[in-house]
Chains A and B, each alone.
Chain A
């Protein structure tokens, strides 16, 4: 089981340094991190501009005017890039056949996970800060003006992103690089059920129950409440955050089991491209 006993910030720092060196050595990697969020923002942002101008006084148009689409795109990117930043760091170890070196060293699993969480935050900052500035410049939408609400949205999303990233990393560890496509695609399974671009209320009632088991649903409902109704709903955020923590604990348990399975199957020595 993964625990915090004997946790060393120096060993965690060594792993953060390793990922920092990797980012520093490859400008295409840094460019790619900013590229997709920018493309997403521009595509959806101009669509919102068009729908707002063409929609007159329709209620959907009011939501568009409030920036709910751009806001949703930006928060969705926090979720997606947070998970990918975590999973890709792990994939780097698989690609470079470095996993055995790490698991044979004094590095503890908790330190490894903490390092991947840290680098996921750094990658998010690199990717998202320029995009939020572009959103202000192009569309007059200031994500930072959400203040406390943004902090709450971020906390719920990032813990859920790490949960999914951890689960994917465990599956790659256990089943090898054949499972690596999950790192790119798994979050898109959650997108329709996370109610990113539409309210939960538009879905069939049986599906709504499923949606409320996912933390992103609370965030995107909360975002629409802030932007359209001008009301921050702390109870939604508390429920979403509690759910995210539960998912994180389950993902840590799953990772631990998958690692044990990899040790039983002897796959830790067979990783690589």
Chain B
């Protein structure tokens, strides 16, 4: 469970994962693995099951069936052994509004067992340009500033597995581009595995080595972006996404 067929170390392995709420089916069964240093995109329309899948990997949602291994540890039984090596960012989760950015990062640094928290905060502030609002209450930040702070929190422990749920949602193109550059930088420096759920096809094309497309809770395609474009005969992932969302068969497509 710690290395893939290619010999690279597996950061995340999911086996037969599914979730239902009573009679309502949500996700599954999903089986996939993510190697260290790779970025896997999770695409899908609203309600396709992206956030539920990430929630299960984070241990916030209990799967109905299946198992999740992070760095070879079963998350259902040994999540505390690996939580310090992973982190996440989501626009649906906030940090305490009344605390300053510095105070929030200090608290999360301590929770994640960071050795020299103050030095780490200084470095993140420099890398992510947080200095000018480091001592401002988190609730008084703009959407772009909040996203940068959330990214700083997600990177506070130099995670080896990073779960990102729409990390650039509601950001202007400049800030979004800036955030993507930092995600790429972290992946390169830390050989970090990243699972990225997004609606932004350009973002997925730029960042991901591999794309999984979910529809109604099931993986309907799973391939590197280039291969997917070629197979669907499309110029960009947005067109591929529309084909998948509308149930078009890739074999029936005429290459453009």
* A interface residues with partner B (beta carbon < 8 Å): 6, 8, 10-11, 13-15, 17-18, 21-22, 25-26, 92-93, 96-98, 100-108, 260, 263-266, 268-269, 272
Q: Flag if B94 contacts A10 (CB, 8 Å).
A: no
A-B pairs, top 4 by smallest CB distance, nearest first, are A14-B110, A97-B94, A263-B62, A268-B60
Kindly list chain A residues whose C-beta atoms are within 8 Å of the C-beta of B51: 269
The yes or no answer to B188 lying at the interface (CB within 8 A) is no
Contact A100:B58 (CB < 8 A) given known A6-B80, A92-B96: yes
Contact A101:B153 (CB < 8 A) given known A96-B97, A269-B51, A269-B55: yes
Partner of A103, one of B60, B90, B97: B60
Q: A102-B111, A263-B61, A266-B55 are in contact. List 19 more A-B contacts (CB 8 A).
A: A14-B107, A15-B107, A17-B107, A18-B96, A21-B98, A21-B100, A25-B98, A26-B98, A96-B95, A98-B94, A98-B95, A100-B58, A100-B92, A105-B108, A106-B84, A106-B112, A108-B80, A263-B60, A266-B21
The yes or no answer to B38 lying at the interface (CB within 8 A) is no
User: Could you tell me the distance between the alpha carbons of A98 and B107 in the complex, rounded to whole angstroms?
Assistant: 12
Decide if the interface of chain B is mainly helix, strand, loop or mixed. mixed
Q: Flag if A105 contacts B112 (CB, 8 Å).
A: yes
Q: Flag if A101 contacts B62 (CB, 8 Å).
A: no
Partner of B52, one of A8, A15, A108, A266: A266
Decide if the interface of chain A is mainly helix, strand, loop or mixed. helix
Kindly list chain B residues whose C-beta atoms are within 8 Å of the C-beta of A108: 80
User: Could you tell me the distance between the alpha carbons of A8 and B111 in the complex, rounded to whole angstroms?
Assistant: 9
B: contact size bracket: 35 or more
Kindly list chain A residues whose C-beta atoms are within 8 Å of the C-beta of B19: 266
The yes or no answer to B252 lying at the interface (CB within 8 A) is no
B9 CB to closest chain A CB (Å) equals 21
Kindly list chain B residues whose C-beta atoms are within 8 Å of the C-beta of A18: 96, 99, 103, 107
User: Number of residue pairs across A and B with beta carbons under 8 Å?
Assistant: 104
Q: Flag if B113 contacts A10 (CB, 8 Å).
A: yes
Q: Flag if B90 contacts A100 (CB, 8 Å).
A: yes
Q: Flag if A96 contacts B108 (CB, 8 Å).
A: no
30 contacts between A and B (CB under 8 A): A8-B113, A14-B106, A14-B111, A15-B107, A17-B106, A17-B110, A21-B98, A21-B107, A22-B96, A26-B98, A93-B96, A96-B94, A96-B97, A96-B98, A98-B96, A100-B60, A100-B90, A100-B93, A101-B93, A103-B60, A104-B58, A105-B108, A105-B112, A106-B83, A106-B84, A265-B21, A266-B19, A266-B55, A266-B61, A269-B51
Kindly list chain A residues whose C-beta atoms are within 8 Å of the C-beta of B208: none
User: Could you tell me the distance between the alpha carbons of A205 and B72 in the complex, rounded to whole angstroms?
Assistant: 61
Contact A269:B61 (CB < 8 A) given known A22-B96, A26-B98, A98-B94: yes
Kindly list chain B residues whose C-beta atoms are within 8 Å of the C-beta of A103: 59-60
Choose among B62, B80, B100, B111 the residue with the greatest number of A CB atoms under 10 Å from its CB.
B111
